[in-house]
Amino acid sequence: MLTYPQFQRAALNSLLVTAGAVALALPIGTLAALALERGRLRAPNLWAALLLSPLVVPGVAAGLGFLILAAAAGLLRSRAVLIAAHAALVLPFVVRSVWVSVRNLDPTLERAAASLGAPPRRVFFRVTLPLLRPGLFAALLFAVVVSANEFVVSLFISNRVTEILPVAMFSYVVNYTDPTIAALSSLFIAATFLMVWLADRYLGLGRVFLQH
């Protein structure tokens, strides 16, 4: 089963798409969370709703939207669309997780750093970012799990070459009936569980949720 070329390709696609989407969504989501909590936005609620909206838009609608957009941009054959779509879909999870950490951040710590002579950039990298770590780790985990398991939207915008693992599994089930797919499903579940367990073990996920 692991030797099936279409699954190997799909697994690689999954990896690339998830990595790309997370690399996009993590910095954007972090800055968005900081802006929502600290920035002087004119309509903060509107921004928050906009950033969290991918959660409530039905996958089919979002998928169709991305499909039309990608077709118009002539990007249907590339993974870029998948990466962009996944980034948008995981963004709400990133924003929410980091937002909690930003809320818990004591602004006097940043003032203290400034009074000790640290310019804003250094305050951000030496104080703000390290203190957001729990939220960033939670965001990373959510983003990876959501992106790796995303199916509906991906189905619309992938083709035989760019399709990610869940989509490849779906098309396999449509075309063939054999137990391969059950085995692969089990593997998929196991991989997701392993990821969550590792994150909990090494990143202290429990603490993230219990403390906040």
- Residues lying near another protein in the complex (CB under 8 A): 106, 108-109, 111-120, 122-123, 126-127, 130-131, 133-134, 137, 202-204
- Residue identified by tokens 């989407």 is 21
Q: How far is the CB of 119 from another protein (least distance, A)?
A: 5
Provide, rounded to whole angstroms, the least separation between the CB of residue 148 and another protein.
24
String of DSSP letters for 85-109: HHHHHHHHHHHHHHHHHHHHS-HHH
Taking the CB of residue 32, how many other CB atoms lie within 10 A of it?
A: 21
For 116-152, give the DSSP string.
Answer: TT--HHHHIIIIIHHHTHHHHHHHHHHHHHHHHH--H
Shortest distance, position 47 Cβ to another protein, whole Å: 25
Residue (57 or 118) nearer to another protein, CB: 118
Task: Kindly tell me which of 51 and 113 has the beta carbon lying closer to another protein.
Answer: 113
**Judged by CB, which is closer to another protein: 176, or 202?**
202
- Cβ density class 124-144: b for 16+ within 10 Å, e for less: beebbeebbebbbbbbbbbbb
The minimum distance between CB 27 and another protein, in angstroms, equals 19
Whichever of 16 and 195 has its CB closer to another protein, that residue is 195
Least distance between another protein and beta carbon 209 (Å): 14
Sign of CA dihedral 177, 180, 181, 186: positive
Cα separation of 143 and 75, whole Å? 24
Distance CA 47, CA 35 (A): 10
Closer residue to another protein in complex, CB, 63/134 = 134
